Structure 1
Amino acid sequence: MNDRADRRWAEPLATGVALADAQLRLCWINPSLAELLDIGPRSAVGQSLAVLLHQPEWMALAKRALGEPSPLQLRGVDVPSTRGDAGRMDVSMQALPSGELLLEVHALAAPANADTPLSATLRGFAHEVKNPLAGLRGAAQLLQRRIDDEALRSLAGLVIAEADRLATLANRLLRNDGTAARPEPVNIHEQLERLGELLRAEPSGPVIRHDYDPSLPDIQGHADRLLQLLLNLARNALEAGAHTLVLRTRAEPATRLGDRVARMALRVDVIDDGPGVPASLRDTLFEPLVSGRSEGSGLGLALAREIAREHGGELRYTSRPGETAFSLYLPMGHAHD
C-alpha cells in the first residue's frame, strides 16, 4: 500500500484519491484530485490537509477518522480549488492499517452549462490508443476472413467487438464537452452473456453457470461501462482463486441506493467458489489501492464501485470460504428519498 509503484495504479481513476500521514500531511495525490483542486501534485506533498482542502474545520474530522473503524462521509460539500471556485463533491476519509488516512473525493454532476474540459494528458492518451486499436481490429478482421474454423472465427469476432468497445470509450473522451453520455436501454442479460464469452475465451476460463430472471426489463445505462464493471468483478474472483462463477439476476424491492430508496432494483450477483475475502480487507475492500494479492493493483473493485455509482446504484458483497457474492444493485424506475 505504501509502495510508489502501487500508487501509480490509481492514476486512471476518475475518483480523486490522496493519502495523508498520521500527522495529516499529504504524502501522495492522484492526478484526478490534483486536477479537481487545481494544484501541482509535487508541490502539494508535505502540506497539511487543511491547506489542501481549504477547510480548517475538516482537520477535526480527519483526526477523528484516523481513530474510527469505519469511513467518515461528507455528502455534497463545496470543495474550493486554488482558482477560487468551488465544486460540490462527496468526500470520504478512511483510516488504513498502515496508520495513513485515505481521502476519496467524488465530484458531483456539474450544471449542464458548466465548462469542464478534459485534461490534455487524458485526451492525448485517448487519441494515441486509437491507432493500435485500429491495427488490432484490422488484423482480427483478416483472420476472420481467412480461417474456416467456426470457433476461431468467433474468437476473432470477440477481438473485433472489444476493439470497437475501447475505441468507443476513446472517442467519448475525445468528444468530451462537459456532459455525460446519454443513458440508453441496456439488457443486462446480454451483457452477462457477453461476459461469459470473454471469460471462456481465456486460456484457463472458469466454469460459468447462469441463474437468470428472464422477466426483468431493460435498465437505463451505458452497456460498455456495465460490461467493464462485470469484467472487473469476475476477474477479481478468478485472480483470488475461484474456478466456478454463478451469474444470477433478480428483482429486489425497496432497496436503499445511497441516500435514496428504489421501489424496485435490479440485482446482479457474481458468485464465486474462491477462498473468500480476508478479514483484514473487509472494511476497505472497495477502496483504491487495496488488494489481497502482492501483485494486485487494488484498482478493479474501486473502478467497479465507481461505475455502479455512475448508474445510481450500489455494489455490495457477502463472503465466506467457498462462496463470495458481489451484488450490483441498479435502480429500475424512479427512486425516492
Structure 2
Amino acid sequence: MAENTAAPGTPVPLAQDEDTARGFAFALVAYLLWGFLPFYMKAVAHIPAVEVVAHRVLWSVPIAAVVLLLLGRTNDIRVALRTPRTMLMGMLTASIITFNWGLYVWSIGAGRTVEAALGYYINPLFSVFLAAVLLKEKLDGLQKTAIALAVAAVALLAWESGGLPWVSLGLAGSWGFYAYFKKSLPVGPNQGFFLEVLILTVPALGYIAYVQTTGTGHFGGTGITDVLLLLGCGVVTAVPLMIYANGAKLLRLSTIGIMQYIAPTLIFIIAVFVFKEPFGLSKLAAFVLIWMALATYTVSLLRSHRARRAAALAAAG
C-alpha cells in the first residue's frame, strides 16, 4: 500500500521499524473505539447529520487544545495561522473530512452501516490506486490483483442494486483524498486535527446558532440526553484520533496496515448481527471479494516490508 490509513480512519504518521507494546495498545484502543462508534451514531440518529457534525467539530476543539497544551506544541498552530499555504491546505482537508463525517453519520442513521463498513474496507485499496494514479507509484502484481477484486466487488453491488454503492465509494474516496492531501499539511497529526476543527468552528457555530434560534436544534429544550450526546461528540471524535496518532508512531507500517481492518470488521459485525441490516447473497459475495482483495494486499504489504528489512540488513552488514 502506498499510503497508510487508519480508519474511520485517520492519516497515519510515519511509523518506526519495530513494534512496541505501548504502540500496539494505543492503536488497538483507537481501532476498537472506532469499531464501536456506530452505537454512538445510532444513538444520535434522530438528530440531523449536519447538526451532529457541527457538534463533533465544536466540542473537539477544547479537547484538541488541551492535548496540544500538554504536549507543548501550541507554537506550531501559531506558525500555521500565519502561513497562507498551510491555512489553505487546512481548509481543503477540513472540507473533505467534514463531508466524510457527514456521510458516515448519515449512513448509520439511515440503516446503511453495512455500506459504511464496505467503504472502510475499500479505503486502503483506493489509497493504493490513488498512489498509482497521482504519485505514479508502481504497483506489484498482488496489488493490481487486489484492486481488480475490489472493482469486481463494486461492479457486483452496482449490478445487484441497479446503481453504484455511493455510500461506500463516498466514504472510501473522501477518506483517501483526505489522507492524500493531509500529507501536504506541514504540521503533526495532533496539530493538524486541531487546525482543521479550529477552521471549521466558525461555520459550525453559525449552524448551531441558526438551528437553536429557529427552534429546530437539539442542544437544550429537547432533554438532557441530547445535550449530553452532542457534548460527547467531541470525545468520540477527538480521543480515538489522538490515541491512534500517538500509537502509530510506535508501530511498523505493516502492523498498522493489518490492524486497520479491526474497525470495519467490528462495524460489519454490528451492522449485520446487532442492527439486523439486510445482507443477501449478493452483498455476501461482494464482501468475500473484498476480503480476498484485502488478504492479497496484506500479503503484498508483508512481502514489501520483509524486502525492505532484508535490504537494510544487507546494507548495514
TM-score between both structures, scaled by the size of structure 2? 0.28
Larger radius of gyration: 1
Quick check: which one's helix share is greater?
2
Q: Choose between structure 1 and 2 for higher RCO, CA contacts under 8 A separated by at least 6 residues.
A: 2
